[in-house]
Structure 1
Amino acid sequence: MTIFFAPLRLPAPPTEKAAPLLTQLATVTPLQWAFFWVGWLAWTCDAIDFFSVSLSVPALGEQFGKPTSSITQAITLTLLFRSVGAVLFGVFSDRFGRKWPLVFNLVLVAVLELGAGFVQTFPQFLALRSLFGIGMGGIWGLAASTALENLPVGLRGLASGVLQQGYAVGYLIAAVISLQLVPAVSVGWRALFWTGAGISAFGAVLRALLPESAAFEKARASAESHGVVSEAQKTRAFLRETKQMLKTHWLLCVYAVLLMTGFNFLSHGSQDLYPTYLQKSKGIKAHAATVATIIGNCGAIAGGGFAGWISQFLGRRITIVAFTLLTAVFIPLWIIPDTFSGLAAGAFCVQFGVQGAWGVIPIHLAEMAPPAFRATFPGVAYQLGNMVSSASAQIEATGGENLKTTLNGVEVPDYAKVQGILLGVVAAFVVFITIIGPENHGSHFEKHRAAFDEGGAADDAFIDDDGVHHATGRAARDRDAEEKASEEREERLSTEKEKPTA
């Protein structure tokens, strides 16, 4: 049973001395590296595509004749529909494999991103971004499972941090494109969307060239070794095991959504309107605002990798709490300065904390998830949290319209105060929800049976290193016990009927 209000504690000391980091990295095979970097690239593509809107808010407002609060509706709609994509593509991945669902997902994202660059009216833009949310919603869960499940356990903390900061790298790439390419071409903001589409298509091609995940193939072989062979059998088993998982772990599902709601408010509240905040509330030029965004994302990349690595020693939740508190400490540096250097320093430090905490999330959710559902569970929890936090940009935009300050004698939105309040409240919530969280299911999720295997929903349904099933799991044991009891009852009844009457 999942235990909540579990104490924060250091991980259990290893039974054997861990090899040095470089030695562990040297053991990773070329195929494992390929799986990791393709998963990382998929997540980077997601960021490029998503932040294309954030970096183009002023240009989009001018193009369509809309205020900032209206343009941010596109961000809100994208976040709202991402949960639909997480369910669809997560289920496809846990049922059919890691490879082709991710390929199709990236192709869909590329097509919709390309189309967004051709729209002529604001309703058309909103419609494309809504559909785009479905495509984006599937990528995180599929990318995380592709990248992490085949790596050695001792490297997954560091890999988690690097993987998650593919998002910061994507923001960085989008910012550079916005800074250098967009002003140099006549089509303006549309070039950013078209470039993002090309990068996503490239990611789809790379994933198509790689084989299916070795961990998934091992679980599929285990299922087929004891009779679950046909696709119809696998689908029926998958539906039964999904029902069993939800019945057993519904409270864990609710907790994961609450955790990801806090995390998504923390990231989107500090990123989505940041360039707009610098330009409108601080009077920073668009070019300098983009450079500050790049500096902030450098802090994010550093924080994510470092936090993911030390979580291997401190534990996942202790690391999250420490980096969230670090974020709260630097909020004044985020909002008080008026100079470029001060604001850039604030961006670096806050994003170091925010994305440091985020760097632990891919592996934390993977270890927390019911092991057979490690594509669906993390992805859906992530995107439902996104859905709840989808109005963060609009909250800030509306708050800025109602809370004013003066800049050079002109009344402007006070995004500094709005973001400071929002980040402070959300940081407190993230610390609280992390502290009361449960212990994880375990780090060796790659040894678990598939979701389409009989009994695969059970927490202890493992397979041997050779792929042979060795533990039936609680759900399967319960079914076996019921069948055995039923057979014994029938045997007793049959025996009693055959006894001669006196």
Structure 2
Amino acid sequence: MAAESIVSRDESIASLEKAEGRITYLKPQSRITWSDAKKYLATRIPTLFPTKASIREARKEYPINPFPALRSMNWLQTQYFIVGFLAWTWDALDFFAVSLNMTNLAKDLDRPVKDISHAITLVLLLRVIGALIFGYLGDRYGRKYSFVLTMALIIVIQIGTGFVNSFSAFLGCRAIFGIIMGSVFGVASATALENAPNKAKSILSGIFQEGYAFGYLLGVVFQRAIVDNSPHGWRAIFWFSAGPPVLFIAWRLMLPESQHYVERVRLEKLENDGKSQFWKNAKLACSQYWLSMIYLVLLMAGFNFSSHGSQDLFPTMLTSQYQFSADASTVTNSVANLGAIAGGIIVAHASSFFGRRFSIIVCCIGGGAMLYPWGFVANKSGINASVFFLQFFVQGAWGIVPIHLTELAPTEFRALITGVAYQLGNMISSASSTIEASIGERFPLEGREDAYDYGKVMCIFMGCVFAYLLIVTVLGPENKGGELRLSTTGTEQDDEESQNNISFEEIVAAGPVSDLNFKQEIQHKERV
């Protein structure tokens, strides 16, 4: 067998598995040859479908009923999760405050809806800057004060947005908000998930990610309760949204620094004579996992296209194209987000048994099947049913994202890499609403002024997105149940987290074997 694929302890390597009491390593590849690529591609279909054996193994580790697993969390872990979840939820509400008020903003600022959609594009474009800045701060100086600073800045910018009187000032505020918003996902997801027990992480991933849908749902409710009943109109939702983050800051300040982060820093300093190796490790991570990072960006671009393509212009379609009343629009948007929450939680847990990639692909196929009734059925009962199931599949796939990103990112740079990959995907998909609004204007509705067939455009757009996401997922790696552990010293690591650490590059090096037999294959190589 290829003994050369096993490298010595003196090299910079990524841990793969504990085998017979010690660690087995594979050599990360800096250059991928065509032969390597063919070997890797040959594993994509065989490793996609769950087997009876893999499901039996998963059932030993994950309970079919996920909620008892949550009892394994102690009170501190529970608080970490709740405060991270709340930050992500409120981040979503702040973002959707614009989507829910595009018609109101267009009227008040004397601009067409297409121009208001530029504010959404601007936010998505600039989020990567915040992800870079606060991802670095979170991984370098800790999760706690990065979280606090992010929430404090959101308070300031949301209050300021409520006072703008011109379109240029509005765009300026949203640009700043985009940078701040980009900081939330990486720090909040690390805070919420990294301290949780492994057997609860899949269901927690689904719950955490659906903070996005829950934030949208809260935005719909508060839009109806506050904006539609306030003399200040759309401004009221921005002023209101600045209040709760004060409570989040107070709560986070009362909690200690992330225990997982503290332990990682302690071990790093112990191994390096008390010196920080952050930049050295960052360079090493880029050299070892560059292909994985590129893949994560492409994957997150597809995910972000799916959410923004199906959500950002949807409220406008209801009110402008279908002429839904405020009450009817509130009901339909609420139904959509209830479907999203249900899908995110259920599919994320199911992925523990069926695999991350397989579950995402099922959601792409299911979502594609719902596009026609979602885009072309104008009656209330029909569109409510279709939007529930469409968002079930869209956000069902999204529910897997936090844990999938965590498993594919080196643990030393979790906040940075997950946040940057997420926000670079957002940047690529930033023009979703503008594209749909611009193309929609080519399909005016007969006999109605300033009314367009957004449903047709959104349906075609989402069909392309589902096809792209399916292809990227099929071709991508999976590391279910493990973490990528970056080793700078080559020493043996015998902690639980160093199991199952399979990077994109390591799968390429291993050759065309199935995920089920992957660890046995490597173990056999070591014996030889």
TM-score, reference length from structure 2: 0.82
Do the aligned partners of 2:150 and 2:184 also contact (CA within 8 Å) in 1?
A: yes
TM-superposed deviation, 1:22:
4.5
- Whether the aligned pair in 1 keeps the contact of 2:58 and 2:352 (CA below 8 Å) is no
Q: Provide Cα deviations, 1:334-377, integer angstroms capped at 9, x if missing partner.
A: 01211112111121111001000000000001101122211111
**Equivalence for 2:221:** 176
Q: Are residue 126 (structure 1) and residue 164 (structure 2) matched? A: no
**1:411 Cα deviation (Å)?**
7.0
User: Quick one: distance in 1 between partners of 2:331 and 2:346?
Assistant: 23
- Once residues 409 and 103 of structure 1 are traced to their aligned partners in structure 2, the CA distance between those partners, rounded to angstroms, is 49
The aligned amino acid for 2:285 is M
Structure 2 residues without counterparts, runs of 5 or longer = 1-27, 30-36, 504-528
Q: Is the 1:153–1:444 contact (alpha carbons within 8 Å) kept by the matching residues of 2?
A: no
Contact 1:324 1:353 in 2 (8 A): yes
What is the CA–CA distance in structure 2 between the aligned matches of 1:12 and 1:439, rounded to whole Å? 16
- Paired residues, number: 456
Contact 2:125–2:430 under 8 Å retained in 1 = yes
Segments of 5+ residues of structure 1 without an aligned counterpart are 475-502
Within the alignment, does 1:223 sit opposite 2:268 as a pair?
A: yes
The letter for the 2-side match of 1:14 is: E
* Partner deviation per Cα, 1:421-465 (whole Å, 9 max, x = no partner): 00000000000000000132x63449x57xxxx818x8x974647
Give the structure 2 partner of residue 495 of structure 1.
none
Q: Does 1:290 align with 2:334?
A: no
Shift in Å at residue 412 of structure 1?
2.5
CA distances 1:92-144 after superposition (whole Å, capped 9, x unpaired): 11111111111111111121111111111111110010011111001111111
- More moved, 410-419 vs 354-363: 410-419
User: Of the candidates 144, 165, 190, which is equivalent to residue 189 of structure 2?
Assistant: 144
Aligned match of 2:508: none
The aligned amino acid for 2:259 is A
- Measured in 2, the distance between the counterparts of 1:43 and 1:16 equals 30
Task: Tell me whether 1:336 sits opposite 2:376 in the alignment.
Answer: yes
User: What residue in structure 2 maps to residue 354 of structure 1?
Assistant: 394
Question: Given that residues 357 and 478 in structure 2 are in contact (C-alpha distance below 8 angstroms), is that contact kept between their aligned partners in structure 1?
Answer: no
Identity %: 40
| Corresponding position: 1:438 with 2:481 | no
Higher gyration radius (CA): 1
Aligned to 2:16: none
Task: Say whether residues 1:385 and 2:425 are aligned partners.
Answer: yes
For 1:50, the aligned partner's letter is F
- Whether 2:498 is the aligned partner of 1:455: answer no
Report the counterpart of residue 23 of structure 2 in structure 1. Answer: none
2:406 is aligned with 1:363: no
Task: Name the residue aligned to 2:134.
Answer: 89
* Aligned positions of 1:68-79 closer than 5 A: 68-79=113-124
The range that moved more, 18-27 or 365-374, is 18-27
2:299 is aligned with 1:299: no
Task: Measure the CA separation in 1 of the matches of 2:181 and 2:493.
Answer: 32
1:14 maps to which of 57, 60, 73? 57
If asked which structure has higher relative contact order (CA below 8 Å, sep 6+), I would say: 2
Q: Is the 8 A contact 1:241 1:455 kept in 2?
A: yes
Q: How far is the alpha carbon of 1:200 from its aligned partner?
A: 2.4
Change (3 A) 1:16 1:186: closer
**Secondary structure in 1 matching 2:488:** coil
1:280 to partner: Cα distance = 1.4
Which amino acid is the alignment partner of residue 402 of structure 1? R
In the TM superposition, what is the alpha-carbon distance from 1:416 to its structure 2 partner? Answer: 0.7
Corresponding position of 1:311: 351
CA distance in 2, matches of 1:95, 1:238: 7
Paired residues of 2:309 and 2:462 also in contact (CA < 8 A): yes
